[in-house]
């Protein structure tokens, strides 16, 4: 039995990246497209991304932490009174959520499960979740230990675990277990601007990975932060998200950690000082024009 899956994740409102990946997927002869969370927020085209995927999510998608933020914003999940909701720094959340709500997409998000299982008869059990099945912010990456894999698979029996969330592709094996990370479509953090996704093919009783990286119009994605109005309305986080797309590097979390350690205010001035102090993080990435396909990240 042969089954071929395409698993995409972490689009984050980056429509040019999504369109490039969907075009590539259309040439790959896949049987099923799965969205492993976080279509929403960070980028300027959250609404357009959901419109593009309309009708494709039911039964084929998991809940990501940024998707869940859209629900939290309207009090559908958690306590809406937490102070960060009204912090201008996090302006992208409300900006994105307010565009999804009139179109009814919050109902679609609310229906998303935390995990998806793919278990063809006689095949290794495949468990897909945005982070891990324990929490959508527990990502699979280089710090993943054998003990953690053991704990996860004991509580959530599976032979192959596929996650996303960290924005970095990843592959490891422990015993007969395999753990993979799809990487990110809309904001990779490994220095490669191309949109990343994962194809899994079931053949000869095993799931074989194909890590794909697809070039797209990064300049168009960056321009949309301006023309959409997100750059002005989204607060400092919106400007940082734009730089993450530009450099294909993680800046928000290191900046927040630096601010906390040095008792900073998360201000524009602090951001500029962060950029100066850690200038090596802001090296321009090499732009690749070709699709990369490989069995390893």
pTM above 0.95, yes or no: yes
Euclidean distance between CA atoms 139 and 122, whole angstroms: 28
Residue 43, token pair as written in the block: 């980028």
Question: Residue 290 — very low, low, confident or very high, per pLDDT cuts 50/70/90?
Answer: very high
Euclidean distance between CA atoms 207 and 160, whole angstroms: 8
Taking only the tens place, the pLDDT of each residue in 215-233 is 999 999 999 999 999 999 9
The torsion angles phi and psi of 178, rounded to 5 degrees, stand at: -125, 140
Euclidean distance between CA atoms 48 and 159, whole angstroms: 35
> What domains, with CATH codes, occur in the chain?
3-216+288-294 (3.60.21.10), 234-282 (no CATH)
Q: Which secondary structure element, helix H or strand E, spans residue 232, and what is its range? A: helix 230-233
**% of the chain surpassing 90 pLDDT:** 94
3-state secondary structure of 217: coil
Chain centre distance of CA 10:
2
β-sheet with 126-129: strand ranges across: 115-118, 126-129, 160-163, 177-182, 169-174
E strand spans, 31-88: 32-35
**Least confident stretch, 83-87, 181-185, 224-228:** 83-87
Euclidean distance between CA atoms 139 and 133, whole angstroms: 10
């Amino acid at each position: 039995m042969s089954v071929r899956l395409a698993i995409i994740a972490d689009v984050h409102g980056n429509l040019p990246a999504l369109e490039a990946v969907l075009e590539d997927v259309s040439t790959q002869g896949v049987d099923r497209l799965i969205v492993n969370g976080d279509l929403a927020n960070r980028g300027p085209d959250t609404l357009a991304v959901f419109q593009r995927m309309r009708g494709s999510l039911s039964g084929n998608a998991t809940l990501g932490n940024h998707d869940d933020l859209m629900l939290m914003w309207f009090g559908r999940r958690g306590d809406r009174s937490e102070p960060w909701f009204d912090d201008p720094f996090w302006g992208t959340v409300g900006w994105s959520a307010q565009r999804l709500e009139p179109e009814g997409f919050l109902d679609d998000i609310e229906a998303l499960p935390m995990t998806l299982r793919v278990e063809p008869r006689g095949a290794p059990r495949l468990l897909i979740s945005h982070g891990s099945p324990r929490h959508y912010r527990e990502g699979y990456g280089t710090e993943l230990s054998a003990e953690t894999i053991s704990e996860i698979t004991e509580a959530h029996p599976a032979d192959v675990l596929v996650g996303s969330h960290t924005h970095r592709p990843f592959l490891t094996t422990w015993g007969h277990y395999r753990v993979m990370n799809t990487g990110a479509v809309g904001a990779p953090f490994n220095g490669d601007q191309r949109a990343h996704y994962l194809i899994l093919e079931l053949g000869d009783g095993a799931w074989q990975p194909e890590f794909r990286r697809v070039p797209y119009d990064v300049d168009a994605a960056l321009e949309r932060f301006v023309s959409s109005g997100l750059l002005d309305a989204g607060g400092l986080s919106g400007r940082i998200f734009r730089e993450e797309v530009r450099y294909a590097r993680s800046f928000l979390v290191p900046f927040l950690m630096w601010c906390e350690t040095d008792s900073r205010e998360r201000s524009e001035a602090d951001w500029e000082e962060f950029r100066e102090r850690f200038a090596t993080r802001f090296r321009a990435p090499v732009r690749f024009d070709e699709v990369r396909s490989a069995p390893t990240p």
